[in-house]
Chains A and B, each alone.
Chain A
Amino acid sequence: MYQETDRHRLFTRRALVLGAGQLGMFGLLVGRLWQLQVGEGEKYALLAEDNRVNTKLIVPARGRILDRRGRPLARNVPAYRVRVVRERTPDLGRTLRALADLVPISPRRLEEVEEQAHNLRPFVPVPIRDDLSWEEVARIAVHAPELPGILLDQALLRDYPYGPVLAHVLGYVGPVNDRELQADRDPLLSLPEFRIGKKGIEKSYDKRLRGRAGLSKVEVNALGREIRELDRDEGDPGEDLQISLDLDLQRFCFDRLAQEKAAAAAVLDVQTGAVLASVSIPSFDPRPFANGLSSAAWKELSHDPLFPLVNKCIRGQYPPGSTFKMMTALAALEKGVIDPGHEVFCSGVFTLGNARFHCWKAGGHGRLALVQGIAQSCDIYFYDVALRVGVDAIAAMARRFGLGDRLGVDLPGERPGLIPTRAWKRERLGQPWQKGETVVTGIGQGFVLATPLQLAVMTARLCNGLKMVRPWYVRPVGADGQPEEWPRIELPRDGLRAVLRGMYEVVNGARGTARRAKLPLEGIALAGKTGTSQVKRITRAERASGAHKRKDRPWEERDHALFVCFAPFDAPRYAVAVVVEHGGSGSRAAAPVARDIMTRTLEINPAGAALLAARDLPPKG
């Protein structure tokens, strides 16, 4: 019994120790709970929020692009799309087949959708088509009960209602590529449904059109399934962008040039530099680009020998031909090597050493001074003047009028053209300058290249009081928020007056090369300059037989036809440049087009309408 009591006493003691130990353990656990839930509760509450809330970016509506009168040129239209959620249909294959019975879906697309649906989590909607018509939407909606798991919803698609007419100016949007993703930190770019400006205005003003991303806070579970939306910030839609183009004029220019195989035209406000119209023929339809063009379609467009994807206004570089003669004349007048009365005798041929240079007029023009030299576009006269002043002075003058360098127009991809100098030839070709090259440079041939927009700018600067306007689609503002003031070119005024007089005579003179370009509007005079630039050297045999002027020459060998002009002559307001590739002669192929464009410009623009109203007043001076 002693033994038993002993053992009992020991047991009781140890049971108390064990009990105290257990009490201690429970106390420790309560303490731990206090530490986690009360002490660090806020920290864990934040972590929990992090866990459960997914922040999703919402693509803001892209800003519209409007013409100068506020008419939309690029906008967003609702597109209806149909998607399928795998977990909501008992038989995916059957549902998809039922859908394909209602709206056309290619069997290959069906396979793709099925495969995608099986690769993604079951609750993720898989897009099937995103270009449904209203009628198709209605058909699906009516059959909704037989189509479990099929979702209909709306997305915004970029739309260009005038398609090819504005394709080169507006450009287009498309899916973001890797390079763009690297270059831009905006989180919007990582969204698959986001579209970025790829060309034209869409590209140069992408950031303004893009807007600010919205945020949607969504409660998700551990698998990423969205449970519900907690909070939504719609973001800011992109800015509506008004551009300088006049839709009516643009459409007119496009239609007027559409008959040509390849051509370009630009209309400028000579006082401000605003581009009122700019077309490039042939064009393309920008709409298919939004979702990525098929590679076959892309191949066809990019391999087309007429380059429909290229905006010829800013990327087409052509020898300006006789439209360049004003530069030659002004250079010589400024240097004082000639005065407006300087006379040259044109026999039709000009000899320099062993080389013979021809005038376009086989028999020659006889004796003429500067005004008639321009009016009749005598080549010999400008060979003579060019040799007197030298190529570098001509180049310096051309540059002041906006040739030979990028104008900084607000469209991507502008090309500089080319104005040769002695230094340029030495550097680029490693050869000394030849006198004969000065001769052809004087009539805008040889190395000289200019874009149609540069020619329009040159014309504008000639007629606007020598203001060095630069072309724009969206009005540039200086640091002070005011529209930019243009510096002026310093030139002797009487020389300039003679050159402009020559341009007046081109259209209005008895012997002008573009008499057919006279405006049908009484009281408003057009002044301009034709250009017919050779693309192929004329051989002696061709010249003898007259083959170089025949109309059955292959298209690619025919001359480019150019015409630059401004109006009204006594109060210049608009400048037009037209280039018809391989159009033949400038006076026949380009001048009538320019005339029609200028007429239309004057008719439809408020400033022009005011001028028309005032035309009955007696002419000034």
Chain B
Amino acid sequence: MLRSRLRAPELSLEEKVRALHWPFILLVPMLAMIGYAVLYSAAGGSHEPWAWRHAVRFTAGFFVMLTIALVDIRFWFRWAYVIFAVTLVLLVAVDIAGSLSKGAQRWLNLGFFQLQPSELAKVTLVMALARFLHAARLEDIARPLYLLIPLSMIGLPAGLVLLQPDLGTAVMLITVGGGMLFLGGVRWWKFTLAGGLVAAALPVLWANLHDYQRQRVLTFLDPERDPLGAGYHIIQSKIALGSGGLFGRGFLRGTQSQLDFLPEKQTDFAFTLLAEESGFIGASLVLTLYFVVVFLAFLVGLRAQSHFGRLLALGVGLNFSLYVVINVAMITGLIPVVGVPLPLVSYGGTAMMTTLVGFGLLLSVDVHRQVRIPRYPSEL
């Protein structure tokens, strides 16, 4: 009986389409269009080489998002662990390929597509943790030993990503995982304890950092110590940003970006270009748009009936806002340059795909917000 309910969802396709969160769905292409304009400007006023492919990828990803949204939430619930396990296997594969080629390795070449499993991990970890916490009772969570399971679910991908080495993604995975545990009800003092442990582990971590990672941290603390080398990025980024002023220099008129002083302006520093050309007004408007997306994700989470759905929606929203916050904090010189792109604006396939897949799940949560999910899939 329960099984047949899963196979034959209560909602028809038409009902699902009508139940879609249309304001959210319209907001997403707006951000992608801003990205298109930024990439068009980054190429000196040309659709090539970035803007056009950005649009193509977004269109493809947009349909993937809608497809995921229409798939029953219980399907994602059931397959969450499997998908997570596949991600872990891919991460191991990347690390092995990396050790074979004796260098940093983040991509798997699938022929038609360069897959970056660490990006994928950001979504699948949220799914897996949501499913785990969905099943967990408060008294389970209160047991420290029980917490070892979700902690290793976070630690495994984070560790594999650190091996690549990709500090930015590892930090994001740990932060999102921590956020999920927080929503799941882990006590405050445990976070304090974890924070203390991390602080104690910092010297050990420092000793194990790669030279270029240490350089980044040191350079962050004092960009002027190496203005033409490692500090160049952040100094140039601040100059470009600051020179935008209140109203900006105008579209295609950002001298720092157009004259190539700004590095990586199509990827990590895309927001710098946007801020230089559109000024404080444009930049804070775009930040507001991003926050609206996060806020809508938050509302979706709050109105979902299932604990899985709530956790999944807030996890996706947290993940998305972390992208934005880390990226903007990085280019404004608040944190070290860690290589986190601005979702939907920065050029890059995997990050966009991850974001849209996440949004797909979020929309699926919203479409199926009335669906109740049992503690274990076997009860479905």
Question: Which A residues are closer than 8 A to B by beta carbons?
Answer: 3-4, 6-8, 10-12, 14-15, 17-19, 22-23, 25-26, 28-30, 32-34, 36-38, 40-45, 47-49, 51-52, 219-223, 227
Q: Which chain B residues (295-333) contact chain A, with CB distance < 8 Å?
A: 295, 298, 301-302, 307, 310-311, 314, 317-318, 321, 324-325, 328-329, 332
Contacts of B324 in A (CB 8 A): 26
Q: Report the separation of the CA atoms of residues A418 and B301 in the bound assembly, to the nearest whole angstrom.
A: 107
Note all chain B residues with C-beta closer than 8 A to A25: 321, 325
| Set of chain B residues within 8 Å of A30, measured between Cβ atoms | 284, 287-288
Closest 3 pairs (CB-CB, A-B): A44-B242, A48-B243, A221-B259
When distances are taken between beta carbons in the complex, the residues of chain A under 8 Å from B244 are 37, 41
Q: Are A43 and B242 in contact (CB under 8 A)?
A: yes
Given A30-B287, A52-B255, are A37 and B238 neighbors across the interface (CB < 8 Å)? no
Given contacts A26-B287, A48-B256, A34 and B280 within 8 Å (CB-CB)? yes
A48 to chain B, nearest CB (A): 4
B240 at the interface (CB under 8 A from A): yes
Interface residue? B66 (CB, 8 A):
no
Query: Within 8 Å CB of A7, what residues of B?
Result: 137-138, 185, 307
CB-CB under 8 A from B291, the residues of chain A are 22-23, 26
Instruction: State how many angstroms separate the Cβ of B172 from the closest Cβ of chain A.
Output: 14
Report whether B328 and A29 are in contact in the complex, using a CB–CB cutoff of 8 Å.
Answer: yes
Q: Counting CB contacts under 8 A, is B239 at the interface?
A: yes
Q: Does B363 contact A (CB under 8 A)?
A: no
Using A26-B288, A51-B236 as known contacts, list a sample of 15 further A-B pairs with CB atoms less than 8 Å apart, ordered by residue number in A: A3-B137, A7-B185, A10-B138, A29-B332, A33-B280, A33-B284, A36-B332, A37-B245, A38-B245, A41-B244, A47-B239, A48-B255, A51-B261, A52-B255, A227-B259
Residue from A11, A37, A38, A42 in contact with B183 in the complex, judged by beta carbons closer than 8 Å: A11
- Also in contact, A15 and B183, with CB within 8 A (given A6-B138, A37-B246, A51-B261): yes
How many residues of B are counted as interface, with CB atoms below 8 angstroms from the partner's CB atoms?
Answer: 50
Chain B residue, CB-CB nearest to A23: B291
Q: Is the interface of A mostly helix, strand, loop or mixed?
A: helix
CB closest residue in chain B, given A44: B242
| Residue B334 lies at the interface, judged by CB distance under 8 Å to chain A | yes
CA distance A38 to B328 in the complex (A): 17
Q: A3-B137, A44-B238 are in contact. Are A18 and B260 (CB under 8 A)?
A: no
The answer for the CA separation of A8 and B317 in the assembled complex, in Å, is 18
Given A26-B291, A220-B259, A222-B260, check contact A33 B246 (CB 8 Å).
no
Q: Is B279 an interface residue (CB 8 A)?
A: yes
A14 to B138, alpha carbons, bound, how many Å? 14
- Secondary structure at the B interface, as helix, strand, loop or mixed, is helix
Chain B residues with CB under 8 A of A45: 242-243, 245
* B243 pairs with A47, CB closer than 8 A: yes
* B182 adjacent to chain A (CB < 8 Å): yes
Q: Is B275 an interface residue (CB 8 A)?
A: yes
Q: What residues on A are CB-neighbors of B241 within 8 Å?
A: 33, 36-37, 44
Q: Complex formed: what's the CA distance from A589 to B314 in Å? A: 113
Known contacts A18-B314, A33-B287; A44 and B185 CB within 8 A of each other: no
| B261 lies within 8 A of A222 (CB) | yes
If A33-B275, A44-B242 touch, whether A52 touches B256 (CB-CB below 8 Å) is: yes
- A8: chain B residues at CB < 8 Å are 307
Enumerate chain A residues within 8 angstroms of B240, measured Cβ to Cβ.
Answer: 44, 48
Q: Is B294 in contact with chain A by the CB < 8 A criterion?
A: yes
B184, closest chain A residue (CB) = A11
Asked if residues A11 and B310 are in contact (CB atoms below 8 Å), the reply is yes
> Given that A26-B290, A40-B242 are known contacts, is A221 also in contact with B261, CB under 8 Å in the complex?
yes
Nearest-CB residue, chain A, relative to B256 = A48
* A15 and B301 contact, Cβ closer than 8 Å, known pairs A37-B280, A48-B239, A221-B260: yes
The docked-state distance in angstroms from the alpha carbon of A12 to that of B305 is 12
Q: How long is the Cα–Cα vector from A222 to B257 in the complex, in angstroms?
A: 10
Contact residues in A for B311 (Cβ distance below 8 Å)? 11
Tell me the nearest residue of chain A to B310, going by C-beta: A11
A556 to chain B, nearest CB (A): 64
Which A residues are CB-close (under 8 A) to B239?
A: 44, 47-48, 51
